[in-house]
Amino acid sequence: MEHAEVHIREEKYQISDGNKKWAFGLMIVGLILAAIGYFTYHPHIEGLGEHDLHHLIQKRLLSNLLVNGYFFFIVSICAAVFISISQIANAGWYIAIRRIPEAMSEYSLVGGPLYILISIIALPVLYHWAHHGIMDAESLNFDAILASKSWYLNVPFFYIRMVLFMGFWMFCAHLFRQYSRKEDLVGGLENYKKTYALSAGFTVVFGFTFSMFSWDQMMSIDAHWYSTIFSIYNFATGWVSALTIMYLFTHYLRGKGYLNIASDEHQHDLGKFMFAFSVFWTYMFTSQFLLIWYANIPEEVTYYTERLFGSYNFLFFFIIFLNFIVPFFVFMRRDFKRSRIVGFIVGGAILLGHWLDVFLMVMPSSMNIATNPTDANPTGIIKVDFQGIGLMEIGFLCLFAGLFLWMTLKALTKANLYPTKHPYVMESALHDVGI
Amino acid sequence: MILGVYDNPDKTYAATKKLLNSGYSVEDVYSPFAIHGIDRLMGIKRSKLSVAAFLFAMTGLSLAVTFQVYVSYFDWPMIIGGKPNLHIPTYIPITFELSILFTAFGMVTCFFIVNRMFWGKNADIIDIRVTDDLFVVAVNVQQNKTDIQALNQLLIDNGALEVRERTKE
């Protein structure tokens, strides 16, 4: 084999003025837009009193916070999962871009506590099972089905699980970063072996805990409904979004002249990952939908009747277009996976699609108004139609995207842009996917 | 054909490069595993197998859809679970599976055809040792034109364990 000249450079990312403008601009504009959206939102819905409408404004605000908090948190944790999976698979190609998922996982340091804060405010408002009196047999709005689940769905246990799981993931992500940065200083195999052992443990624990996490956070918004494939469907969403962000960052950094050992070959492999996991997401999405659609059991189909036949109908088909049709038919070509322009278009479509996917998991259930059951309305739930993608939605998306961007770029400045003393760094620099 | 037998992928790569630079026509390089970059060096074109795969998948997809629509809508409509007879979600699993099945079988068939392998044919292996640990560079020679002596010397100078002649089949 002919070895091209490889220069392992120790370089750190320098935050440019443009980065600052974008990150803080997004945050400030997002906050202003969200505030305007919040104060100008005066819903008029038939059958709802003044009190309920006021409640609805709060619900929309908190739902948006929950959507963004959840989406960006799972993306940042999935970046840590990418490191651990690549590590236990003994992969060598990804070393050139390894600092990007490491930097993305650093968002969880801010995003995690922020999400817990959001959850503390949102839990009594958005989650029907956490409403006052639901589990109390004496109460007017007592729900026997939810009460039978109270051993799992109760507020203290919910927070114990949440803090334990998130704490464990964030701690592991921290250790991944720490080992990797230490390796740059001392070299050798010691940190590599430690990362290997940690990855093996983390991947197994993550698999189980993420399932419960997604039931708690997303599925229990509509606590009567359940789906056994829901957690892997959530994981697919976070995972493919994380891969897409890595892909876009690689393009960006290479365009700026950084990452001298990353080439089109690495870009191509990340593109293949995006393509493959877009199909994986579609597989999970279809499996969940198809079985529920076919079996047609009343307590299961509620989830899809709201989304498929109600006012969310357009979004439902739009996310299939963005998350499956676009990546599948565009990214099938080899040269499109390597192209910067096409990459940015497809990447943008995938990210928007998966954000809308989480949006569609939360909104239709969380925006319903719960009242006391009456004879006319035995469930006591008043359905509220889709309120549109307004300033509040766009504003909060910008706010969180700006925060994510800032945390990631700042983390990139803390260490060399690729691990210079990793045992596989040469393998990655010479990575070649063939013709 | 002159065969140069090597015991090291780096030597094989270097020898191939030298031969190509000296203007010899290299028939093929045989190796027990992939040597990175040698395909680019030899100027091998990208395989069209992926295009074939796409076409096979489309064949499977259209056959699956045609068959299901014909059976469940035109030929023998049956109401199952109150579902409509002509409805896309019902067709997804079978269409998906048949696309994959056609792709897999089609690509295997293509592979056999391209490599001229079929049942009953004796394996024509250039040198049995390339299936284990050795590498072979096969160079085309033209009668009375190629200087065999110089070629042999070039192969040996680049680290060949042995050089021998073989007729092309």
Domain ranges of chain B: 2-44+124-165, 49-114
Mean pLDDT of A180-203: 94
Tell me what pLDDT residue B34 has.
Answer: 87
Report how many helices (DSSP H) and strands (DSSP E) chain A contains, helices first. Answer: 16, 2
Q: At what angle do helices A340-366 and A50-88 cross, to 10 degrees?
A: 130
* Total domain count, chain A: 1
Does residue A3 lie within any of the structural domains? no
Please judge whether B10 and A332 are an interchain contact, meaning their C-beta atoms are less than 8 angstroms apart. Answer: no
Q: Which residue type sits at B23? A: G
Give the model confidence (pLDDT) of A266-291 as tens digits.
999 999 999 999 999 999 999 999 99
Q: What is the DSSP letter of B162?
A: E
Q: Please state the pTM of the whole predicted model.
A: 0.91
Enumerate the H helices of A296-422 as residue ranges: 298-304, 313-320, 326-330, 334-338, 340-366, 391-412
pLDDT at A318 over 90: yes
Nearest to B46 among A286, A430, A435 (CB): A435
Interface size between A and B, measured as CB pairs under 8 A: 37
Pairing of strands B162-165, B2-6: antiparallel
Residue A323's pLDDT band, with cuts at 50, 70 and 90, is very high
Tell me what pLDDT residue B124 has.
Answer: 78
Location of structure tokens 């992939």:
B34
pLDDT at A2 over 60: no
Return the H-helix or E-strand segment holding B40.
Answer: helix B38-41
Q: Min CA distance, A286 vs chain B (Å)? A: 9
Please say whether the beta carbons of B37 and A433 come within 8 A.
no
Please judge whether A1 and B40 are an interchain contact, meaning their C-beta atoms are less than 8 angstroms apart. Answer: no
Identify the closest residue of chain B to A279 by CA–CA distance.
B96
Tell me what pLDDT residue A147 has.
Answer: 87
Mean pLDDT of A46-53: 81
- Owning domain of residue A417: 17-428
Pairing of strands A369-370, A381-382: antiparallel
Q: Min CA distance, B139 vs chain A (Å)? A: 19
Give the model confidence (pLDDT) of B23-48 as tens digits.
888 888 999 988 888 888 888 888 88
B97 interfaces chain A, CB cutoff of 8 Å: no
Contacts of A1 in chain B (CB under 8 A): 9-10, 13, 35-37
Please judge whether A1 and B10 are an interchain contact, meaning their C-beta atoms are less than 8 angstroms apart. Answer: yes
Mean pLDDT of chain A: 92
Cα A43–A49–A54 angle (5° rounding)? 50
B14 interfaces chain A, CB cutoff of 8 Å: yes
Mean pLDDT of A333-357: 95
Identify the closest residue of chain B to A334 by CA–CA distance.
B50
Tell me what pLDDT residue A372 has.
Answer: 77
Nearest to B92 among A286, A430, A435 (CB): A286
Contacts of A331 in chain B (CB under 8 A): none
B116 interfaces chain A, CB cutoff of 8 Å: no
pLDDT at B121 over 90: no
Measured between alpha carbons, how far is A162 from A66 in angstroms, rounded to an integer? 14
Residue from A223, A236, A266 nearest A424 by CA: A266
pLDDT at A39 over 80: yes
Chain A residues at the B interface, defined by Cβ less than 8 Å, are: 1-2, 286, 289-290, 293-294, 296, 332, 334, 430, 432, 434-435
Contacts of B52 in chain A (CB under 8 A): none
Q: Which residue type sits at A344? A: F
Give the model confidence (pLDDT) of A233-242 as tens digits.
999 999 999 9
pLDDT at B123 over 90: no
Mean pLDDT of A356-360: 95
Q: What is the ipTM of this complex?
A: 0.83
**Could you tell me the sign of the dihedral formed by the alpha carbons of A221, A227, A231, A234, in that order?**
negative
Q: Min CA distance, A435 vs chain B (Å)? A: 6
- Within 121-160 of B, beta carbons closer than 8 Å to A belong to none
Contacts of A332 in chain B (CB under 8 A): 54
pLDDT at B1 over 70: yes
Q: Min CA distance, B26 vs chain A (Å)? A: 17
pLDDT at A413 over 90: yes
Q: Min CA distance, A1 vs chain B (Å)? A: 4
Residue from A77, A181, A175 nearest A414 by CA: A181
pLDDT at A4 over 80: no
